Chains A and B, each alone.
Chain A
Amino acid sequence: MAITLERARVVAPTARRYRWRRVIGQALTWIALLAALVFFLGPFYWIVTTSLKGNEDYFAFPPVWMPVEPSLTHYVGLFTRSSGARYFTNSMVISTLSMIAALVVSLPTAYAIARWRFGGGFLSVFLLVLRMLPAIALIIPVYLMYKLLGLTNSYLGLVIVYTVVYIPFAVWLLVGFLRDFPVEIEEAALIDGCSRLRALIAVVVPIIAPGLAVVALFSFIATWNEFLFAVVLTGIETKTMMVLVTSFTSGGTDMFYGEASASVVLGVLPAFAVAFMLQRYLVKGLALGGTKG
């Protein structure tokens, strides 16, 4: 007893010193992280506030960092004058259709690879190489083919390209989810006389639904963000949000701010939503270009 007490007395001052060092260390850590947050989120703050300013506010100096009377004029202008509603709908429709198509087509392929080792190692390497393929390599032949087939300026054309370009990534991610899925449950269904396809749809799909949702969300955001195919293959009726925002750049370095910023706000909304929903999978998804079309 006496020994412990004595030791405690010796340790106490050093412990206090360590506690102080830890508090200061934590404080510095948080200050640095706060600075990083300002740098990484600052532009978003500027865009959002700009989109809510009236005209006199964004020509003002000193600049209005915090609009006193926020107004939705620019959003109204974007939706009426610049056909923002149509382009927003285009993006929504194209991304949703591509997302569904990519899932439907990729799941059976991923199943074949995960359960039967279909294609051996070759198929996986092939898919990875396809995943890294630059879009610029496809755009020239696809554009010429689409012109021949009359698929430019159509939803269908863009949806086909987006679906197929996304297959490698979707398959790659789904194989991972399927490998984690216990084979025994499936076996039980097969013994009960289920066909493979029914076992996949009725037994596997409900259980790996969260994994499917992850793939779906990544695919949605990737098609939403895609630009090269969109700018080449769309026409006036089928433009996506990405093509719309670039049309505001024609005004030179100080372009038409109000509607431009409003369109950027709408264009980054899905990214914000997905970043929070997919936190756990961000590394996996971003690593193989999950957010790039």
Chain B
Amino acid sequence: MRLGALVLKRKRWEPFAFASPSLALIALVIVFPLGYSFWLSLQDFDLAVGPDYQFVGASNYVEALFKDPRFLGSVWNTALIIGPSLVLELLLGLGLALLLSRVGRGRPIITALLAIPAMVSPVMAAMAWRMMFGVKYGAVNNLGRQLGLIDVYFDWFSSAFISIVAIVLVEVWHNTAFMMLVLLAGLQSIPQELYDAGKADGADGWKSFWYITLPLLKFTMVVGIMIRMIDLTKLFGLIFVLTYGGPGGATETMAFTTYLVGFNDMRMSYAAALSYVIVGGVLVLTLTFMWVQRYREMRAAA
């Protein structure tokens, strides 16, 4: 990009003056609290006991990573939700994107309608589905009974397994639209000439999908999956409303366990340590994501 000479000529202090309000706010409200939280994670500070604190070094982290079955269980629960959600969102999103790309007139309106769930807050999505899953008055059970599929009212949150299934269903409902939009944009960036050339060489239908669409969509899929994965490690609102971690903690995710440790048990320093473990995970994923994108740019340039 070319910048005019005059624009580049500037008073030295100006960029700092322009950028400083937001940087100062970020320093005060994000960076400083993060530092404070790290210091806190090295203390023993329990508001349920009292306002006293004591330096304990890394013992909170040792407890979190090696001794706390509840937190380790929550890591496992989060993985149990993330895995199937990502697979389903990718497949369903890809299917929808392919369908939409075949539609001429009416595509924008259908796309916008399908994208609505992704704009809704997780709390609202979960609330709507809690009402769908209601035992006696929910739409799912009543539809099932009306169609003769079930003869008893089914409690969707009675067992750990079914609860996870229900959470994955809601999560897929909530965020498939995101994958669909990303993949649709990816599909539209594939030049039509490639398909024409493929056709001339006898590639039709499945073949052109397998040898043209999929390879060219690979990076878009990776990017979409990475963003969803980063997002899902923070899963909180959905759990709060749908199950509140139940039954018996079987659906507690990392973020939700941290919340309970901090604001139910009031173990502030331990919750701070847990939140740093989550930050570590998210950081690794984010850096991988940035590396993938740079790799893609380098490939595109070459």
Contacts and interface: CB of A to CB of B under 8 A. Distances in A.
A132 B36 CA distance: 19
A264 B127 contact: yes
B86 interface: no
Interface in A219-253: 221, 224-228, 231-232, 242, 245-246, 248-249, 253
A272 B123 CA distance: 15
Given A62-B146, A260-B131, A111 B18 contact: yes
B29 A161 contact: yes
A287 B227 contact: yes
Interface of A: 25-26, 29-30, 32-33, 36-37, 39-44, 46-47, 50, 58-59, 61-63, 105-106, 108-109, 111-113, 115-116, 118-119, 123, 125, 128-130, 132-145, 160-161, 163-165, 167-168, 171, 179, 183-184, 186-187, 190-191, 196, 221, 224-228, 231-232, 242, 245-246, 248-249, 253-255, 257, 260-261, 264, 267-268, 271-272, 274-276, 279, 282-283, 286-289, 291-292
Nearest to A287: B227
B299 interface: no
Interface in B4-28: 4, 6-8, 10, 14-19, 21-23, 25-26, 28
A88 to B, nearest CB: 14
A33 B127 contact: no
23 contacts: A26-B102, A36-B96, A43-B132, A44-B116, A46-B131, A63-B143, A109-B22, A112-B18, A116-B10, A119-B19, A129-B286, A134-B233, A138-B34, A139-B275, A140-B275, A245-B124, A253-B134, A254-B138, A261-B131, A267-B121, A267-B127, A271-B124, A289-B231
A127 B188 CA distance: 29
B71 interface: no
Contacts of A141: 33-34, 36-37, 40, 272
Interface stretch (B58-66, B103-111, B191-199, B211-219): B103-111
A289 B226 CA distance: 12
A128 B18 contact: no
B7 A112 contact: no
Contact of A254 (B2, B8, B129, B137): B137
User: SS class of chain A's interface: helix, strand, loop or mixed?
Assistant: helix
Contact of A227 (B130, B182, B237, B286): B237
A112 to B, nearest CB: 4
Given A253-B157, A272-B116, A282-B115, 17 more contacts: A32-B95, A36-B96, A43-B129, A50-B131, A115-B3, A118-B16, A135-B236, A160-B29, A183-B7, A196-B10, A253-B133, A253-B134, A271-B116, A274-B119, A275-B115, A286-B181, A292-B231
B45 to A, nearest CB: 9
Given A138-B30, A167-B26, A279-B112, A245 B7 contact: no
